[in-house]
Chain A
Amino acid sequence: QLHLVQSGSEWKKPGASVKVSCKASGYTFTDYGVHWVRQAPGQGLEWMGWINTNTGNPAYAQDFTGRFVFSLDTSVSTAYLQISSLKGEDTAVYYCARDSNRRTDSWGQGTLVTVSS
């Protein structure tokens, strides 16, 4: 059965970094891309970008360049989101989701990242 399981909640101070993992199971990891989506408290869904799991090439939405990095470890079917120089406005739930013909057909459970001193 298809599953995306994300790492647990994180609490970080401003200026720190965080790395969120997204482990896939139940399908061939490199056959489907992985998207990352941010949801700030009480807000809507915001697409951050995606990574081609076959080539490793990432693509970032305009507001998510510079401090945000997508990466992979295909040996363990896992995608990663790293955010550096964290700010208070990065406080949000971060989701990974599987791409299927330009839609997302399965989502991780979400990872809450809280940035506060």
Chain B
Amino acid sequence: SYVLTQPPSVSVAPGKTARITCAGNNIGRESVHWYQQKPGQAPVLVMSDDSDRPSGIPERFSGAKSGSTATLTISRVEAGDEADFYCQVWDSYTDRYVFGTGTKVTVL
């Protein structure tokens, strides 16, 4: 089955850059989307189609994909960025959504 692997945790100091990776064998053929979930809240789409930032998402958030890995980058990290982040693709071979394993971003 399709698996998207993320690091369980990423720690970053305020003002620095956080990079969250999402690895999957066939990720190159699919669009990757990213969600941020703060404690007690529903997920919010923060990056679409690998690198498109939805309206209202700060420019500090950017996305990229290379080979079998997609990366969400948060520049100039703020305390309010602390959350769980999930990547997601639509597996076109099986017609199903796949979520990544999730990464907890901690701001030191």
Q: Which residues of B contact A104 (CB under 8 A)?
A: 33, 35, 43, 45, 88
The contact of A109 among B42, B86, B97, B98, by CB within 8 Å, is B42
CB contact list, B25-44 vs A, under 8 A: 31, 33, 35, 37, 42-44
List 29 A–B pairs whose Cβ atoms lie within 8 Å, in order of A's numbering: A35-B97, A44-B84, A44-B86, A44-B99, A44-B100, A44-B101, A45-B37, A46-B99, A47-B96, A47-B97, A59-B95, A61-B96, A61-B97, A95-B42, A95-B43, A97-B43, A102-B97, A103-B31, A103-B45, A103-B48, A103-B49, A104-B43, A104-B45, A105-B45, A107-B42, A107-B44, A108-B42, A109-B42, A110-B42
Q: How many chain B residues have a CB neighbour from A under 8 Å?
A: 23
Main SS at interface, chain A: strand
